[in-house]
């Protein structure tokens, strides 16, 4: 049994959750459930990122005190996480006083690598990021992600000396000691590392008061990313507690847009603290809406609650785990969603359960309580490589095989011919297989898996469910 620690990016609380936010949670949840299935002890962190300009200025636009606004939205994210049935163990808000105090201690520990200097350059509030002159020129001074001109800043900041850590970070990325997935992102990060200068890690309080105060300097607050990244260890109790049971993280799941902070800034902080780097940094693509980036101005933002309400939570988890690629951008449209629901969930899986349960109940076949067995090697390999959508495809081949098995073995014909024992034997074998499939489904569709166990996993006579698992829509 190993100890496993899984981390998710913590969203800014400057708005409501959207379907893109679900990706970090679903990927992490699938991995957490997979590892628990193997008998590992899993800690799994989620949370909300509440400081910084972005949150502060949206609170102001909404006419609310920032604390109140952050709390309201943090609760929306917490509800969202619950609604998605995410099996987290630890939850953090970056406004938690314990987190704030721990961040200040982290800052102090990093002080040998911190110096103060004048910053004169560009900033993007949308990205909460300092922009290099090179990027400024390449983009014509406009953030491609936020469609806004960069701001010019001239201010005193504290800097973290990246040059103290560059060689070590490079070595660990190259050797996969900190493995960055997918491979093409690893190459991107290696290039970026060479171009990264020392990182500004504070903002003057007169520009931004909504942040963690820098210890020993009343005029400065921490740059929001320093405070945000630290959540992965403060939530474990660092530096008050020994975190070596669960740190380094087994896997951190983040979107492609924020990989740079996790691949460069975060390792620099960790090395400065004398802590090991995460074992895997898994970077996912973005969910697009009708082939486009979701944005309020395009009016194509999709409300996840609406998606959940359309065909239920399991359908939501199904689509986002199987049809949204782990690593590259993928599209969501209502048409594709409905099609996947009807053709795959209702036709393939829902029908399978209904057909098999009906045949079993008619022929007095009882369930098997121990359908669980060794996981198929193909599935294991894909799950270990964080290729969850492909692992889910593998599960689906099993679902389709089982449908074919029923068609080919035709238990009803055996019954007609009076070969009841043989029919029962065939059905029992199919029941064992559907239970094995339920085990493979568990990380992705825990609710459905539990229903299949309930129907086929008792030792009484199997009963046909009154309503199918996925009624046709």
166 vs 256, beta carbon nearer ligand MSP: 256
CB of 7 to ligand MSP, least distance (A): 8
User: CA 33: distance to chain centroid?
Assistant: 13
Q: Which one is catalytic: 113, 127, 311, 433?
A: 127
What stretch of H or E contains 177? Answer: none
3-state secondary structure of 306: helix
For residue 360, indicate whether it is catalytic.
no
Q: Which one is catalytic: 7, 103, 124, 360?
A: 124
Give the dihedral sign, CA 141/146/147/150.
negative
69, 62 in Cβ contact below 8 A?
Answer: yes
- Residue ranges of alpha helices (H) inside 332-372 are 334-339, 351-362
11 vs 121, beta carbon nearer ligand MSP: 11
3-state secondary structure of 204: strand
Residue 342 token pair: 């009807």
Residue 19 token pair: 């379907």
Residue 67 token pair: 């604390």
For residue 186, indicate whether it is catalytic.
no
CB of 323 to ligand MSP, least distance (A): 13
Which residue's beta carbon is nearest to the bound ligand MSP? Answer: 255
User: For 209, which DSSP code?
Assistant: -
DSSP 91-122: EEETT-HHHHHHHHHHHHHHGGGEEEEEEEEE
CB of 315 to ligand MSP, least distance (A): 19
186 vs 284, beta carbon nearer ligand MSP: 284
For residue 143, indicate whether it is catalytic.
yes
CB of 86 to ligand MSP, least distance (A): 14
CB of 342 to ligand MSP, least distance (A): 25
255 vs 278, beta carbon nearer ligand MSP: 255
CB of 328 to ligand MSP, least distance (A): 11
11, 18 in Cβ contact below 8 A?
Answer: no
265 vs 351, beta carbon nearer ligand MSP: 265
C-alpha separations of 395 from 349, 379, 433, 455 in Å: 11, 8, 12, 19
Q: Which one is catalytic: 7, 21, 360, 433?
A: 21
Q: Which one is catalytic: 99, 103, 113, 143?
A: 143
Q: Which one is catalytic: 83, 109, 286, 293?
A: 293
Footprint on this chain of ligand MSP (rule: CB under 6 A):
9-12, 20-21, 23-24, 49, 228-229, 254-255, 257-258, 286-287, 294
CA–CA distance, 235 with 298 (Å, rounded to integer)? 37
For residue 311, indicate whether it is catalytic.
no
Residue 426 token pair: 């065939």
135 vs 325, beta carbon nearer ligand MSP: 325
- Catalytic machinery residues: 18, 21, 124, 127, 143, 146, 293, 296
């Amino acid at each position: 049994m190993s100890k496993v620690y899984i981390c998710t990016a913590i969203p800014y609380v400057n708005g409501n959750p959207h379907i893109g936010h679900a990706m970090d949670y679903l990927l992490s949840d699938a991995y957490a459930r997979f590892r628990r299935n193997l008998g590992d002890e899993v800690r799994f962190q989620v949370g909300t990122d509440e400081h910084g300009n972005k949150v502060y200025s949206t609170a102001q636009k909404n006419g609310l005190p920032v604390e109140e606004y952050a709390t309201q939205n943090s609760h929306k994210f917490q509800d969202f996480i619950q609604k998605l049935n995410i099996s987290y163990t630890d939850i953090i808000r970056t406004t938690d006083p314990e987190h704030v105090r721990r961040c200040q201690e982290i800052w102090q520990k990093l002080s040998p690598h911190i110096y103060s200097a004048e910053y004169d350059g560009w900033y993007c509030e949308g990205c909460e990021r300092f922009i290099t002159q090179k990027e400024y020129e390449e983009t014509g001074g406009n953030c491609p992600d936020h469609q806004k001109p960069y701001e010019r800043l001239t201010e005193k900041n504290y800097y973290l000396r990246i040059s103290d850590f560059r060689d070590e970070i490079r070595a660990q990325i190259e050797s996969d000691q900190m493995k960055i997935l997918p491979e093409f992102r690893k190459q991107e990060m290696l290039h970026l590392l060479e171009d990264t200068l020392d990182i500004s890690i504070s903002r003057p309080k007169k520009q931004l008061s909504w942040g963690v105060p820098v210890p020993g300097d009343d005029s400065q607050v921490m740059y929001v990313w320093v405070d945000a990244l630290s959540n992965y260890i403060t939530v474990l109790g660092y530096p008050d507690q020994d975190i070596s049971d669960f740190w380094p993280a087994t896997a951190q799941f983040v979107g492609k847009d924020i990989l740079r902070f996790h691949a460069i800034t975060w390792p620099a902080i960790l090395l400065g603290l004398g802590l090991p780097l995460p074992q895997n940094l898994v970077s996912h693509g973005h969910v697009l809406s009708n082939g486009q980036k979701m944005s309020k101005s395009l009016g194509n933002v999709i409300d996840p609650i609406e998606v959940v309400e359309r065909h239920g939570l399991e359908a939501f988890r199904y689509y986002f785990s199987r049809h949204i690629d782990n690593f590259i951008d993928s599209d969501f449209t209502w048409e594709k969603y409905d099609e996947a629901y009807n053709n795959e969930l209702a036709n393939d899986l829902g029908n399978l359960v209904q057909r098999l349960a009906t045949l079993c109940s008619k022929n007095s076949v009882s369930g098997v309580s121990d359908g669980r067995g060794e996981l198929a090697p193909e599935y294991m390999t894909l799950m270990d490589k964080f290729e969850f959508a492909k692992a889910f495809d593998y599960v689906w081949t099993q679902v389709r095989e089982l449908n074919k098995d029923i068609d080919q073995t035709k238990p009803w014909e055996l019954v007609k011919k009076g070969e009841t024992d043989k029919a029962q034997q065939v059905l029992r074998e199919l029941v064992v297989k559907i239970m094995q499939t339920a085990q493979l489904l568990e990380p992705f569709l825990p609710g459905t898996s539990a229903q299949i166990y309930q129907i086929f996993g008792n030792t009484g006579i199997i009963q046909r469910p009154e309503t199918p698992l996925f009624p046709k829509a």
